Amino acid sequence: RPSSVSSARAVHKNSHAKRLINEAIVSNDFLKKLEPQHMREMVDCMYEKVFSEGQLVIQEGEAGNYLYVLAEGLLEVIQNGKLLGEMRPGTAFGELAILYNCKRTATVKAVLQSHIWALERQTFQTIMMRTTQARHEEY
Ligand code: CMP
C-alpha cells in the first residue's frame, strides 16, 4: 500500500461525540452523499481544536485544509463583510473547499469560545482512497 494511506489515524472519542459528528455529517447537503463507511472513518479521524472568542476558523478566499464539525460554542458566517448567519453545535462546515477543491466561500468566526472537530484534507483524501482500495482488493 502507498505510505500516504497510513496517515488517517483514529482519535478516541466518546459515543456522544461520535453521534454529534455523525448527525452533523448526515445533515449536511453535500456530505450526506458520501458512503456510510467513509462517514464512519471521518468520524473516527476527527480531532478537537479550540478557538477563542473572536478567532477566525475559516477565512474567505483562502485555500481550505480542514473540514469541521462544531461541537460546542457559536460561530458566525460572513461573506463580503456581510453576516449570512450563525452556526450552532452539530453543524458540519468547511466542506465546500474540501469536496470541490475551491477557495473558502465565506469567513467563519467564533462568537464564543468554540470546540470544533477537525479533519485534515489529507486525511479526508486518504479515507476516500483507502476504502475504495480495500474494496478493489476483495476481488
Ligand atoms: P467552505 O467554502 O469550505 O468554507 C466556508 C464555509 O462556510 C463553507 O465551506 C460552508 O460550509 C459555509 N457556508 C458558506 N456559505 C454559507 C451560507 N450561506 N450559510 C451558511 N454556511 C455557509
pLDDT digits (tens, 9 = 90+) for 82-126: 999 999 999 999 999 999 999 999 999 999 999 999 999 999 999
Measured from CB, residues less than 6 Å from any atom of ligand 1 are 58, 64, 77, 84-85, 93-97, 104-106, 108
State the distance from the centre of ligand 1 to the C-alpha of 61, rounded, in angstroms.
12
Please tell me the distance between residue 119's alpha carbon and the centre of ligand 1 in angstroms: 16
How far apart are the CA of 60 and the centre of ligand 1, in A? 9
Residues whose CB falls within 8 Å of the CB of residue 131, separated by 6 or more in sequence, listed in order: 35, 37, 38, 41
For residue 105, is it left (φ>0), alpha (ψ between -120 and 50) or beta? Answer: alpha
Q: How many Cβ atoms from other residues are within 10 Å of residue 28's Cβ?
A: 18
Ligand 1, atom nearest to 107 Cα = 5
Evaluate the CA torsion angle 65, 18, 38, 138 in order and state its sign: positive
Q: Look at residue 1 and tell me whether its pLDDT is greater than 50.
A: no
Domains of the chain: 14-137 (2.60.120.10)
All three cell numbers of 138, joined, read 476483495
